[in-house]
Amino acid sequence: MDKMNVSKHISGKFNDELESVRNKVLSMGGLVEKQLRDALIAIETSDQELAEHVLRSDHKINAMEVQIDEACVQIIAKRQPAASDLRLVIAILKTIADLERIGDEGERIAKVALESFNNDQQEFLVSLENLGQQVLSMLHRVLDAFARMDLDAAYEVHQQDAQADRQYEALTRQLMTYMMEDPRGIPKVMNVLWSARSLERIGDRCQNIAEYIIFFVKGKDVRHVSPESMEQTVRGRTS
């Protein structure tokens, strides 16, 4: 816990409980990241079996969210944490909610691999893969930032979302143009469009987790603040 800048407690048991919950969050994050990576691989390689595996595995993420949530409730009830400890528990509760939703989006993305696409439509899958790799990078980096409660790394991920948004908007325009030119392909292209939307939402979830890290480290809620205010919070002194 020292490397996360979390204070030690007289009760060693309290330290163990916080460390245990933190490790469970990282395990959940690792599973969510694997699910998203597998979904993208399934699309790239047209691997329907891998896509089905992703769809069947979502319940594991849901179960981990419930388990971590219950552990946090127990900590609050027994330890009545204050200051940075309370901020950590709050950050964990919010993070696992976003991780569970990322898992749901990964499930939707995997469904694209169950479709068959003609040669003209393959270019959309390439664009979707590019967006997916951008978002997967964000997820990996924000989980690493959470593991170390790294303020600067969290801020960098938060800024990275703008690039993912631009890729999403470009892909959306490409898909809309194709559907107007060839209405027969609308059903399949719509699945790609919804998957792109899921990836854009995952980027937003990564942004959220970055904000929770900033909240823990700085003690300030930076949701819905201006970019200038957020930068001032991150670059300023710890409160």
- Euclidean distance between CA atoms 74 and 153, whole angstroms: 30
Confidence label for 122 from pLDDT (cuts 50, 70 and 90): confident
Confidence at 165, pLDDT banded by 50, 70, 90: very high
Mean pLDDT of 5-23: 76
Q: Which residues contact 11 (CB under 8 A, 6 or more apart)?
A: 79
Residues 55 and 105: their CA atoms lie apart, in Å, by 11
Look up the CATH number of the domain holding residue 110.
Answer: 1.20.58.220
CA gap 185, 193 in Å, rounded: 12
Residue 220 domain boundaries: 2-235
Residue 91 CB contacts under 8 Å (≥ 6 apart), including other chains = 212, 213, 215, 216
Residue 11: pLDDT above 70?
no
Which pLDDT band, with edges at 50, 70 and 90, does 9 fall under? low
On the CB side of 51, how many CA atoms lie within 13 Å of its CA? 17
Tokens 């800024």 found at: 159
What's the rounded Cα separation, in Å, for the pair 199 and 31? 17
pTM: 0.91
Q: What is the pLDDT of residue 239?
A: 43
Q: How many domains does the chain fold into?
A: 1
Q: What is the mean pLDDT of residues 124-135?
A: 94
- pLDDT at residue 7 greater than cutoff 70: no
d(C-alpha 209, C-alpha 99), whole Å: 9
What's the pLDDT at 116? 80
pLDDT grade for 182, boundaries at 50, 70 and 90: confident
